[in-house]
Structure 1
Amino acid sequence: MESRSPYAAAPFMWRFMLVLARIIVFPLCRLRVTGDISPELRRGPLILASNHVSPFDPIVMTAACHKIRIAPRIMATGGLFDAPIAGAAMRKAGHIRVDRRSATVADALPAAARALKDGALVLVYPEGRIGLDPWMWPERGKTGVARMAALTGAPVLPVAQWNTHAVLPYTTPKHLLRSLLRAVRHRPVVHVRFGTPVDLTHLTGTPGAQAMQATRLIMAGIDATLAPLRTSEMETPHYVDTTRAEDLSRVRPRRHADNHVTH
């Protein structure tokens, strides 16, 4: 008997949430999904590493996953798991809790590694927060994704999303109703692009040095996946989220296609 696809084998609650995300997204924006994932990678294990620009990102990413028929397990902040309704849904969907700035944050890495060794797709935001780069490019990443890849041998595929900040700004849920009404009125175009796996085969040095090298390569891969989505706004976004703070401490050097270093 032919085995079910990984999407069909996902928990019912997660498949329901994937459909629900498409319904939520439709009135708020026009979702454009580009790129794809090969059949070999879809069977897992696979790490999806995405940039993070808005509180709306997880909903858009869920809708994009539904559109291309994948059901990755998401590494999500512990606060979601503590919410009365959302928490139960996240647990039933099989997502992975990350308690940042707590003594149990290290528990997330073994949990993700176990999921990957079981052949799962795992989605993670390697920046660890909504990025505060003034130009809205990905910040320096945490080494967790690189360590997950090293532990499991799972390939890392960069994913980029863009213009979600035009739907929900950085300070959401403050002025949430106003933001939603503006989004319904304008329905901005929001992009999600699935890239190509990052080559992590030529790393050298100690495990720590390799994790740092791999992290830089992964973030550069997200840059390269994001660049085609914002070709006319490489420096300053067309839509500026005035609620975002700016933090220069984690800004990364970034190369344009002409190899000039910016930032």
Structure 2
Amino acid sequence: MLAIIGGTGMAQLECLEISHQKVVTTPYGEPSGPLTFGKIRNNTVVFLARHGYGHTIPPHEVNYRANLWALQSVNLTRVIAVASVGGIRADLAPGTVVIPDQIIDYTYGRKYTYYDGKDRSVTYIDFTEPYCPLTRKRLLEAAGRAGEKVLDGGVYGATQGPRLETAAEVNRLERDGVDMVGMTGMPEAALAKELGLCYATLAVVANYAAGRKSSAHLIRLDEAHGVLEKTMVRVRNILEWVVTLDAD
């Protein structure tokens, strides 16, 4: 079964024929909301809104541990996270869809691991490949079948939020090799890896990152939301094909 974590611009999955919702309790507190079960093209899918169904949870307060724990408790095969990002690399214009293959973590103070209790031994996970290669491959194949252009690969820089970055901070990110910047990529990816979930991200470029396009360009949030609304139609098309391919 496929799980989809929706981010900004995707508080619901319009192509999902909802059957029921399930409230899941976890050892790590409450998830962002109930799990929503339904079918896409007659295949069962579970959906979770990362920021809550009213978009009330900021990035730094998302209970990532509870979210991933709740999803793995219902016997999933793969998790696809949809996330909005700011484009740093020149070809990442608003409306671009990217499937990143690497991540750099700039967040702090978040609950990063399931292995932090005194009753648990220290556990190290190999995070060389933060995203599942098989799920990334499936996303690329689905995009091809759907006729939707996506960019293969890129470095996601996860920042703390909820404020956007300064132009100087984006310059630093670029020097570090970051191609796109968002606020929810970590610790979500690492926690999925700890749980053995096949996790990958569909990143939607909502706007140019601070200082890009023009040094005087200010980020217009209304424009970014408009871009997300239009691009999510393409994202849903890709997701429908992922479900179809998984069923084959």
TM, length-normalised to structure 1: 0.30
TM, length-normalised to structure 2: 0.31
Bigger fraction of residues in strand: 2
Bigger fraction of residues in helix: 1
